[in-house]
Amino acid sequence: MSSYDEIGAVLKSAQRIGVAAHVRPDGDAVGSLLGLALSLREMGKEVYAILEDKVPGNLLFMPEVGFIRQSDGVALDLDAAVALDTANQERLGDKTCACFAKAGTLINIDHHGSNPRYGDMPHVEPTASSTGQMVYELLKHQGMPITDAIRQNLYVAISTDTGSFQYPATSPATHEIIAEMMAAGLDTARLCVALYQTYPARRLELMRAMLNEMQFCSNNRIVSWQLTHETMVRCAMVPGDTEGLIDTLRMVDTVVAAVIFEDMPDGKIRASARSKDARVDVSAVCAKFGGGGHRLAAGARMKGPISAAAEIFLKELENEVRRID
Ligand SMILES: [Mn+2]
């Protein structure tokens, strides 16, 4: 594993730098990407901030979000490339991998335990709350620029990936970083309104569908929902609308594992699973279907149709939940 000193030295000597995060970007992906990219730009570097997919609508308020370009698949002439929050290289997306194909050095900064430590310089910390937290530590320890826009982006990254500082990976260091950023002038209340109190009506329509259709099994210890293409069309869903819906499912007192199955445009099914009990490892279940993630939060892509995918996934999940008997 490469240290922040080693990664910092490469970034400081490089001039043309690509920065990217995973497909279907979430708050941690976009926030850590912008946090690092803006700092490098501030240092006078030629920075390419790229993502395979569009930034979801609920995150378009993030400062300097227009700096991000969608990957076009053309190899960039780069001294260094950085993959952020991306558990395996393929999750950067095909076009993004092609953009990075000629990069001199590939740096991999991530907090997913399943990360195989790909690239020339991997730095993986499975105990870190978020990649945003890791980027803050890198910038601080390497004396790299931290502007207000960078602080806002890293706050979004850390806040969303910790479920607003609720998940167990939230550590004293997490809160200390937020305290440091607030002392430097960060307005967290305004960001929280944008992040957690500003939803389009269609998101509540989706939640209504979820509450109507959720199903319990394994003595009410597992709750699941099948988000079908029909429901997406009926609610006029756009990417990002489902963010955090699973947290409502996992609220039920008897539940130890929650999973949402979602029809994908390519006919595949996305399973997103959460565990509330450290003994129940949803990343192990997802790994059986070629997926991965964290012990308490993981995902996989499965073959359709959605009902068949749900049936085989829930069977494996029920076996996993039996570990606590
Ligand atoms: Mn993350």
User: 63-116 pLDDT, tens per residue?
Assistant: 999 999 999 999 999 999 999 999 999 999 999 999 999 999 999 999 999 899
- In the prediction, which pLDDT does 240 show? 82
Cα-to-centroid distance, 293 and ligand 1 (Å): 9
271 pLDDT above the threshold of 90: yes
Ligand 1 centroid from CA 219, angstroms? 31
Burial of residue 3 (number of CB atoms within 10 Å: 0-12, 13-18, 19+): exposed
0.85 exceeded by pTM: yes
Beta-carbon-side half-sphere exposure of residue 77 (alpha carbons within 13 Å)? 1
Q: What value, to the nearest 5°, has the Cα angle with vertex 49 and ends 245 and 15?
A: 150
What is the token pair recorded at 176?
A: 């200390």
Cα of 234 to ligand 1 centre, how many Å? 30
Domain ranges of the chain: 4-196, 201-324
| Residue 244 pLDDT grade (very low, low, confident, very high; cuts 50, 70, 90) | confident
Amino acid at 133: Q
State residue 170's pLDDT score: 97
Please tell me the distance between residue 25's alpha carbon and the centre of ligand 1 in angstroms.
10
Task: Give the number of residues written for the chain.
Answer: 325
Give the class (CATH, top level) of 201-324: alpha beta
| Ligand 1 centroid from CA 123, angstroms | 14
Q: How far is ligand 1, taken at its centre, from the CA of residue 41, in Å?
A: 23
Q: Note if the bond before 265 is cis, omega within 30 degrees.
A: no
Average pLDDT, the chain: 96
Confidence of residue 208 (pLDDT cuts 50, 70, 90): very high
Q: What pLDDT is recorded for position 49?
A: 98
> Ligand 1: distance of its center to the CA of 261 in Å?
20
Whether 201-324 and 4-196 are alike in CATH topology: the answer is no
Q: Give the bridge partners for 261, in sequence order.
A: 226, 271
For residues 158 and 150, the answer to whether their CB atoms sit within 8 Å is no
Other Cβ atoms within 10 Å of 237 Cβ, number = 20
215 sits in which H/E element: strand 215-217
**CATH class given for the domain over 4-196:** alpha beta
Distance CA(269)–CA(154), nearest Å, equals: 31
